[in-house]
Amino acid sequence: MKDRVALVTGGSRGIGRAIAIELGKAGAKVAVCYNQNEALAAKVIAEITDNGGTAKAFKADVSKGEELNALFKSVKESFGPVEILVNNAGIIRQCPIALLSEQEWDEVVDTNLKGTFSCTRLAVRDMMRAKWGRIIIISSDAGRLGEAMGSHYAASKAGAIGFAKSAARELAPYNITVNAVTPGYIETDMTAGADEAIRKKQLDAIPARKIGAPQDVAWLVAFLAGETGRYITGQTISVDGGLFM
């Protein structure tokens, strides 16, 4: 993917950080989108550029359409049109359905699902013109298994899978692949807060009996983003030590 332009949303931390670094290693020019953590995004940029890669940080909240218009305009000015889009930015919240407010529902769905749609919409025109594109959506096993206390999260992630399949069908004639990657439990800030009892329960459910690393997801994303992924589209692929099978 030498000199391809890649945009990774939520690239400042966790899984997105590992993906940005992996794509940078593979030679892509990486636009790292963050929401709040400018300092961490700067560290990711330094890690890529110190290894001879090209990268730049961009601030945008993926749930806000106007910020995304500005993001895509800035990325195009800096690097050119986005060719590889990794919709990774996401948030998780826990709340039983009976107590879940519309506002909390909207916050999760607007970030995880609407953000994915909005970024994809802004990326596809240039990809269609170029007759080349890769779109990778970081969904979750929760979208396939459901999640008690996380119905809004699971619904947003299931929606992202439906969106990925629809986009894959629609965009395949333009040589654009669209795939959903569904991690299980990956060691990041998102999972760090869980108490020991919950952690043990999670571990017991994983056939591999270990929690994954962001790098495990990044390797698959790099495979899908490169020429290696050219005949793979519309798939939902878990990186989860066997949790979903």
Site string for ligand NDP, 127-166 (x = CB under 6 A): -----------x-x--------------------------
- Window contacting ligand NDP (CB under 6 A); options: 34-42, 74-82, 97-105, 123-131: 34-42
* 153 among known catalytic residues: yes
Q: Does 16 interact with ligand NDP (rule: CB under 6 A)?
A: yes
CB of 211 to ligand NDP, least distance (A): 8
Task: Kindly indicate which of the ranges 36-44, 68-76, 95-103, 128-136 contains the residues binding ligand NDP, using the contact rule CB under 6 A.
Answer: 36-44
Query: Of residues 39-68, which lie at the interface with ligand NDP (CB under 6 A)?
Result: 40, 61-63
- Tell me the angle at which helices 102-109 and 151-171 cross, rounded to the nearest 10 degrees: 40
Q: Does 122 bind ligand NDP (CB under 6 A)?
A: no
To ligand NDP, the closest distance from the beta carbon of 148 in angstroms equals 16
Interface positions, 187-216, toward ligand NDP (CB under 6 A): 188-191
Annotated catalytic residue within 34, 153, 185, 231: 153
Which range touches ligand NDP (CB under 6 A), out of 167-175, 181-189, 219-227, 228-236?
Answer: 181-189
Q: How far is the CB of 215 from ligand NDP (least distance, A)?
A: 12
CA distance 6 to 82: 6
> In b/e form, how buried is each residue of 90-127, taking b as 16+ CB within 10 angstroms?
bbbeebeeeebeeeebeebbbbbbbbbbbbbebbbebb
Residues identified as active-site = 153
